[in-house]
Structure 1
Amino acid sequence: MKKVSIIAPVYNVEKYIKRCIDSILEQTYSDIEVILVDDGSKDSTGKICDEYAISDQRIKVVHKENGGLGIARNSGLEMATGDFVTFIDGDDSITNDHIKKMVKALEKDDADTCLAGHTKIYADSRVEHINVCAGKIFKGEEVKNEILTRMVGSNPDGSDYIEMSVCMVLLSKKIIDEFGLRFHSERDFISEDLIFDFDYYPRSKKAVVIDDVGYYYYDNEGSLTTKYNPKRFEKQKEMTREVIERAKYIGIYEKCEQRILNTFVSISRYCIKLEQKFSNNSYKTYKTNATKILKDAFLQKALTDIDNGNIPIKSRIVNIMMNRQWRFLLWLTMSFKNRYGI
């Protein structure tokens, strides 16, 4: 049997950590090791991890000073002894056959990587997201051409996207070790997962994609994506530039240029929306912050280069407003969206 290392970086998740660990220990695939990386938690998360380690010898616990998700994952990789590695966030969980299904697919097709989908869990509902390439196998150059290009963003109409997360994936520890792959800090790049993907997938020789949705991603209170961050736009701009350079370097930029631009423009729209939301109904505050975004030369070039033809009409209209820097109309539009949760 192939041994699987399941790495779970955890930080201040005492409300959810037991659900996460229990779901891992209930796996029907037995040859696993569990590495819990306590990233300097200030609540009882670390203590709970230690209690589980006492009761189950498959669990290893690392306690470290807070350094962020990417660095915590690296600490887990240093300890991992499995043939394959996967990650789970401390406030998420997995179904009891999630690992077994991925290992079975790897062994059946002699692949070094397996990708699955996920299920988004909301307070009153759940939505299954089956991987758009489920049932397919990619070899050699196809891995980066077909998988990585879908990870940088969706088509302009919002379709054909593969989640860039390193969760819900089995990764080859051999590839990780052979090329010394490690995560960057999210304090350097706003998406450490995608940067890691650019290091990993061009080196994968065979990847299989399955229709499993056994990774449960919870829409928990206080998600970082819904919090105001005044540096969000600048961080995303830096990230986009890095992705463009990496895509050019491995020869996939022409294939995914519009996906990259669409992602950047979409997040820029969201940044404008957040500026309105957290302006405390002060148009002056919104205007000052939104102007910095709208006048940005990199964004204006992206708005010019993006193909608006296939973009949904509502997003297309907002793109035009941004391109022409119609701040007051954007204020009214985002005010309406924020009020009604659109």
Structure 2
Amino acid sequence: MNEKNNITMHLPKKTVTRSPAISFILPVYNVADYIPRCVESITGQITLDYEILLVDDGSTDDSGTICDELANSNEHIHAIHKPNGGLASARNYGLDHASGKYIFFVDSDDYLASDITQSLERLLSGPSYDIIKFDYLQNISSKQHRITSSVPSGVISDEAGKRKLICEALNNEHTFVLSAWSYIYRRKFIENEQLRFVSEREIGSEDFPFTLEAFLVARSILVIHEPLYVYDLRDGSLTSTYRTNIPEKYAKLYQLLKRYYHQHVGDEYDQSLREFYIWSTYGLCSTLEYRLHNKWGRTMKQASQAMKHLFNLPDFRQAILEHDCHGDSIKRKILITIMRHRWEWLLSSFYACKQQLGRLLHQ
């Protein structure tokens, strides 16, 4: 079945005929309790010409109905209904129908920070930038924390500055945010470079290649230290289901990034890409298997087998054997040694002891 033939669109007649300054693309899937809050964070404060594209990705709850109601109530809001295809698919359909000068991806269970109107007006009415990177606020257990980028504020438009930014992103994979919602993109830049999201069902993360490819081909990147977005880390919003085949999916991600970077700049970033692949894959897999295996009803034995599988995967094995440990922390050097020698029993024993100690301390 052709997915495009099953799309329905609710596009009210607009009184504003020129292209809006910004398009907000909101993928929607079974988040009926959160969509109104997200949309209100935009309509309640943005004074620029704008449009909101609500891309209902085959929701099975009331999300689709809510999208239509919101579209009926505001000429700036459009509802698009499509068969379920995942987050990447929903964002791509939003891009296909967006008409704004800039694109702002907003996850529909998050929302914009308050009092950002002046910041957006200043950013979007000034010089044009391919990418605008900003800070954000993180909600955890009703407490809000500001997350500031490690990259200095200012304009990056030369190759040396861009190389520093890309290496920062690749070498600090746990602290450098690559999520699409933490950037504003110039739409013509996305179109000219033919940037699109690759399905997270294939490569594990739709954000990583989109952002890292955009960095490489951007001519101008503005970094600001202003929080424009609220990331709502609610219970169940992450790691709510066990993710299968992560080693294989991240190997595909690694090969995709290598091909793209080789096509544009050769092997200049090979070491950084390899480091990104090793630590992003190990970090996610170790979290799922060692720390959260009980959440899925899995035993430590099953977790151990999954990690052994990772250490034996050809792409991962080649990466850790080729990795240059110079400059690594002691912790990372130890982990690389363990993975090279396939001493998974050391890791599983460590985490088992750590969990047992935690239980004893909380008795």
User: Shorter-chain TM-score category?
Assistant: 0.7 to 0.9
Report the equivalent of 1:175.
189
**Correspondence 1:278 to 2:293:** yes
The corresponding residue for 2:341 is 324
For the 8 Å contact 1:121–1:218, the answer to whether it is kept is: yes
Alpha-carbon deviation of 1:334?
Answer: 2.5
Q: Deviations over 1:244-273 (max 9, x none)?
A: 222222227534623641442343244144
Is 1:80–2:98 an aligned residue pair?
yes
SS at match of 1:27: coil
**Once the two structures are aligned, what percentage of the paired residues are identical?**
28
Moved more, 281-290 or 228-237: 281-290
1:192 and 2:209 correspond: no
- Measured in 2, the distance between the counterparts of 1:59 and 1:281 equals 44
Q: Provide the secondary structure at the position in 1 that maps to 2:252.
A: helix
The TM-score with structure 1 as length reference comes to 0.86
Q: Measure, in 2, the Cα distance between the counterparts of 1:257 and 1:295.
A: 20
Counterpart CA distance in 1 for 2:165 and 2:138 is 21
- Separation in 2, partners of 1:189, 1:167: 19
Q: Deviations over 1:234-253 (max 9, x none)?
A: 11121112222222222275
Contact 1:105 1:208 in 2 (8 A): no
Aligned letter for 1:197?
A: T
Q: Which residue of 2 aligns with 1:241?
A: 255
Q: Report the CA distance between 1:103 and its aligned residue.
A: 4.6
The one-letter code sitting in structure 2 at the alignment partner of 1:268 is Y
* Of 251-260 and 292-301, the range deviating more from structure 2: 251-260
Would the aligned equivalents of 1:143 and 1:204 in 2 still touch at CA under 8 Å? no
Query: In 1, Cα distance between the equivalents of 2:128 and 2:339?
Result: 48
Deviation at 1:116, TM superposition (A): 0.6
Which ranges in structure 1 are unaligned for 5 or more consecutive residues? none
| Other structure's SS at 1:127 match | strand
Question: Within 2, Cα distance between the matches of 1:197 and 1:221?
Answer: 26
Deviation at 1:175, TM superposition (A): 1.9
Q: Which residue of 2 aligns with 1:94?
A: 112
Counterpart of 2:71 (choices 53, 68, 74) is 53
Q: 1:250 aligns with which of 264, 274, 282?
A: 264
Contact 2:48-2:121 within 8 A present in 1 as well: no
Give 1:30 deviation, angstroms. 2.6
Comparing 286-295 with 303-312, greater Cα deviation is found at: 303-312
Query: Which position in structure 2 is the counterpart of 1:220?
Result: 234
**Is the contact made by 2:20 and 2:51 (CA closer than 8 Å) also made in structure 1?**
no
Pick one of 129, 151, 161 that aligns with 1:111. Answer: 129
- CA distance in 2 between counterparts of 1:114 and 1:269 reads 28
Q: Could you tell me how far 1:330 is from its partner in structure 2?
A: 1.4
Deviations 1:114-149 (A, max 9, x none): 111222210142221112224220115357424344
Classify 1:201/1:303 alpha carbon distance in 2 versus 1 (closer, same or farther; 3 Å). Answer: closer
Deviation at 1:22, TM superposition (A): 1.1
Counterpart of 2:309?
292
Deviation (angstroms), 1:337: 5.1
Aligned partners of 2:276, 2:131: CA distance in 1, in Å? 27
Q: 1:20, 1:91 within 8 Å by CA — same for their partners in 2?
A: yes
Worse-superposed segment, 302-311 or 163-172: 302-311
Q: Does 1 or 2 have the higher relative contact order (CA < 8 Å, sep 6+)?
A: 1
Report the Cα distance in structure 1 between the residues aligned to 2:121 and 2:179, rounded to whole angstroms: 18
**Matching of residue 302 in structure 1 with residue 316 in structure 2:** no
Bigger CA drift: 71-80 or 313-322? 313-322
1:16 aligns with 2:34: yes
TM-score, normalised with respect to structure 2? 0.82
Deviation for aligned residue 1:182:
2.4
CA distance in structure 2 between the partners assigned to 1:103 and 1:178 by the alignment? 24
In the alignment, the residues of structure 1 paired with residue 248 and residue 117 of structure 2 have an alpha-carbon distance, to the nearest angstrom, of 37
**In the aligned structure 2, how far is the partner of 1:69 from the partner of 1:36?**
12
Kindly report which structure 2 residues correspond to 1:124-139, keeping only aligned pairs within 5 A, or say none: 124-139=142-157
Q: Report the alpha carbon displacement of residue 307 of structure 1 after superposing the two structures with TM.
A: 4.0
Q: Say which is worse superposed, 250-259 or 201-210, in terms of deviation.
A: 250-259
User: Shift in Å at residue 25 of structure 1?
Assistant: 1.1
Q: Counterpart amino acid of 1:137?
A: V
The one of 120, 125, 141 equivalent to 1:123 is 141
Q: What SS class does the counterpart of residue 213 from structure 1 fall into?
A: strand
Q: Matches of 2:192 and 2:273 in 1, distance apart?
A: 30
Worse-superposed segment, 67-76 or 124-133: 124-133
Range 77-86 or range 22-31, more displaced? 22-31
CA RMSD, Structure 1 to Structure 2 (Å): 2.8
How far does the alpha carbon of each residue in 1:300-341 deviate from its partner, in whole angstroms, 9 at most, with x for none? Answer: 333233344544444443333222222322112233456659
The 1-side partners of 2:169 and 2:101 are apart by 24
CA change 1:125–1:304 in 2 (3 A) is farther
Q: After the TM superposition, which of the residue ranges 282-291 and 206-215 deviates more from structure 2? A: 282-291
Q: For residues 120 and 302 of structure 2, what CA distance do their matches in structure 1 show?
A: 49
3-state secondary structure, aligned to 1:187: helix
> Contact 1:114 / 1:170 at 8 angstroms: preserved in 2?
yes
Q: Secondary structure at the match of 1:81?
A: coil
CA contact 1:34–1:59 (8 Å) conserved in 2: yes
